[in-house]
Amino acid sequence: MPSNPIIWITGASSGIGEATAYRFAGEQASLILTARRAERLAEVQQECIRLGARCEVLPCDLSNLSGLDTLTDQAVALFGRIDIAFLNAGISQRSTVLESTPEVTRRIMALNFFSPTMIARRLLPSMIAQGGGTIAVTTSIAGRFGFPLRSAYASSKFALYGFFETLQAEYYADKIRVVMVCPGRVKTAISLNALDANGSTHDRMDEGQQNGITADKAARKIAGAIKKQKPEVLVGGPELLMVYIKRFLPSLSRKLARRINAT
């Protein structure tokens, strides 16, 4: 990774994205920040500048897939290249399979899966031409095992592993590196913004989320993993044990998943 990298972070107006932006800003990176809320994004930009970074913003609703090629081209043009793309934007879910409408599933898949994969595909030619780059993408432990009330969310996160592990295999020789960022419970607004069965905002803080690690603690680990180009980084607390139980004791993991309090 270059000593003063150019880093594009999506979902940068709050939570993990915001905290990671501050972490890199303190290291004098050049930042491009994207999120839907322009006013909040401008506040994050000012703090990044105060911390010593060059920082530009590109407000955008990333679920509007038709504009992503243009957005990506604009991001590259701001500083002439992108060394690291941290594709972090996403939305969660709080409803059972039978309750969830197809429209809710489409909304979740658009933001969580199609958005980062389309951006990555558009970025690849310029990254290859410049001699390489790093693509970090936020998945979830719900992308490693099925999780109650998260059918579309878990599906989108499972799908990210398939796409980006394939991308890594295909373009490794071109010095493209992928970092799968796999959070468990981090104290952010993700449960507040999650979609209920009819697409309305959940607007409640889950107990598990409330008791999760701070976004700043998560950002420290994530930034370190990105700089080291680690293939995967698990971020959270005791709940991360489920990843290893699934790997080594799959029958037990299925029993435990059925007992998870997912609210």
Give the number of domains in the chain: 1
Instruction: Give residue 140's pLDDT band: very low, low, confident or very high (50, 70, 90).
Output: very high
Q: Is residue 155 part of a domain?
A: yes
**Has 22 been annotated as catalytic?**
no
pTM of the full structure: 0.95
Query: Which amino acid is located at 29 in the chain?
Result: A
Q: Is residue 1 part of a domain?
A: no
| Mean pLDDT value across residues 55-82 | 98
Digit-coded pLDDT (tens) for 156-212: 999 999 999 999 999 999 999 999 999 999 999 888 999 999 898 888 888 878 889
- Asked whether the predicted pLDDT for residue 17 surpasses 70, the reply is yes
The confidence score (pLDDT) of residue 30 equals 98
- Asked whether the predicted pLDDT for residue 40 surpasses 90, the reply is yes
- Asked whether the predicted pLDDT for residue 262 surpasses 70, the reply is no
The confidence score (pLDDT) of residue 105 equals 96
The confidence score (pLDDT) of residue 208 equals 76
| Mean pLDDT value across residues 236-258 | 93
The confidence score (pLDDT) of residue 259 equals 86
d(CA 34, CA 76): 13
- Asked whether the predicted pLDDT for residue 74 surpasses 70, the reply is yes
Instruction: Give residue 128's pLDDT band: very low, low, confident or very high (50, 70, 90).
Output: very high
Task: Pick the catalytic residue from 22, 153, 161, 244.
Answer: 153
Contacts of 147 (CB under 8 A, 6+ apart): 141, 153, 154, 257, 260, 262
d(CA 137, CA 157): 10
- Domain with 217, as residue range(s), is 6-259
Q: Is residue 59 part of a domain?
A: yes
CATH number, residue 94:
3.40.50.720
